Amino acid sequence: MDHYEYTELLKTLTIKMQNITDVVRPTEINSRLDEISDLENSDGFWIDVTNAGIVQKEKTQLERRLNKYTRTYNILGDAVDLYEMAKEENDEETIQSLFDDAPKLENEVKLMEVEVLLSGEHDAHNAIVTIHPGAGGTESQDWASMLLRMYTRWAERHDFTVEMLDYQSGEEAGIKDAAILIKGINVYGYLKNENGIHRLVRISPYDSAAKRHTSFTSVLVSPELDDDISVDIEDRDIRIDTYRASGAGGQHVNKTESAIRITHIPTGIVVQCQNDRSQHKNKATAFKMLKSRIYDLELAKQKAAVDGVEKSENGWGHQIRSYVLAPYQQVKDTRSGIPYSNISTILDGDIDEMIEGVLIALNRKDDD
């Protein structure tokens, strides 16, 4: 990198930072934090535990966003000031150090750009991820288990907490169904665009003729909703079934009918939970899953009506992303159009770059 390239980079990053500032509005955040501080010191604020909890959650999110913004703003500002001083003093060592750190500086601003994109109503929430194989038997079920591992590994890379809500093993391999709850900041914001059909092309390990197979699996991501969000579910609209839990788990597995399946008749949504040995706890969790799915479905319907998009089938031509293991190796998302060759690390949970590419691409589409 030379002086011209670094100067142009600083100009570009400064413009991006100004755009970020316009969205983040740090002055407004500080004003709101002052208001919250006054509320906390007011009489009776802590008596209303529910309201206090809501305000505290807002405070935490605002402080987190402001801290990340301030850090990025200062890092960029320090780089600009240091570069100007180093040029004036002909300090080539410092200038070269700035050149070497340019990719890190660019990445810092990019991460802040992504942070700005995660400003939706529920982006900061935990996420419920449901994985269901399409037609194809063992092939699709095995592919579903690979995706389950990918998202679990992604969560582990970020030190998020993962809870298995439902796990239905396939007859020979893989899974028939699975649902996990991933807990962490902005989990739903990151994973919301994983909603859709994921296509795999590979030489089948279950085919003695070593032929190439194509498999499909659907991924459904919905936010774990706060208790203050109301979703009406009528008793007459649901059917509740109990069954014996299966798969890896605690001592209750295959001994008691502790697992719960709830079918929402008007929408056809089916949720299952066998996470706990208590039927009552599984039922409560299943209702929470159903509430999130119904709420997310209504949001999707509204967006589809605006975009003119119909619901996708779990099969050919409807995938949002293709993972090709043979005859070449490549992962490509239909929305960003960006190809990735590091498929082994992607399947091991290294999907941040891919997720960020989709977030940026969809934001540009919305701007257009």
Convert the pLDDT of each residue in 25-46 to its tens digit. 999 999 999 999 999 999 899 9
Kindly state the tokens that stand for 15.
């413009």
d(CA 48, CA 327): 62
- Tracing tokens 């706890």 back to the chain, one arrives at 281
Do 89 and 63 lie in one domain? The reply is yes
Assess whether 84 and 140 both reside in one domain: no
Predicted pLDDT at 319: 86
Residue 231 domain-assigned (yes or no): yes
What is the per-residue pLDDT across 296-336, written as a single tens digit (0 to 9) for each? Answer: 888 777 766 655 545 445 444 568 999 999 889 999 999 99
CB-CB contact of 346 with 354 (8 Å): yes
**Whether residue 54 sits in one domain with residue 168:** no
Domain range enclosing 93? 3-117
Residue 343 covered by a domain: no
Same domain, 92 and 199: no
Is residue 334 one of the residues assigned to a domain?
no
- Mean residue pLDDT across the chain: 87
In a domain, residue 341? The reply is: no
Residue 21 lies in a domain: yes
- Give the end of a domain, one of 83, 117, 151: 117
Q: What is the CATH number of the domain that holds 230?
A: 3.30.70.1660
Prediction pTM value: 0.78
Please give the span between the terminal C-alpha atoms of the chain, in angstroms, as a whole number. 33
Is a pLDDT exceeding 80 seen at residue 246? no
Same domain (yes/no): 250, 310: yes
Co-location of 75 and 169 in the same domain:
no
Instruction: Give me the phi and psi of 309, to 5 degrees please.
Output: -110, 135
The total number of structural domains that make up the chain: 2
Residue 197 · residue 320 · CB < 8 Å:
yes
Model confidence at 346, in pLDDT bands (50, 70, 90)? very high
Together in a domain, 153 and 236:
yes
Domain assignment of residue 327, yes or no: no
Residue 359 lies in a domain: no
Residue 201, strand partner residues:
214, 324
Question: Are residues 233 and 131 located together in one domain of the fold?
Answer: yes
Same domain, residue pair 131 and 113: no
pLDDT score recorded for residue 316: 46
Does one domain contain both 157 and 72? no
Both 312 and 207 in one domain: the answer is: yes
* 249 and 199 inside one domain: yes
Question: Sorting pLDDT into bands at 50, 70 and 90, what band is 118?
Answer: confident
End position of a domain, from candidates 94, 117, 140: 117
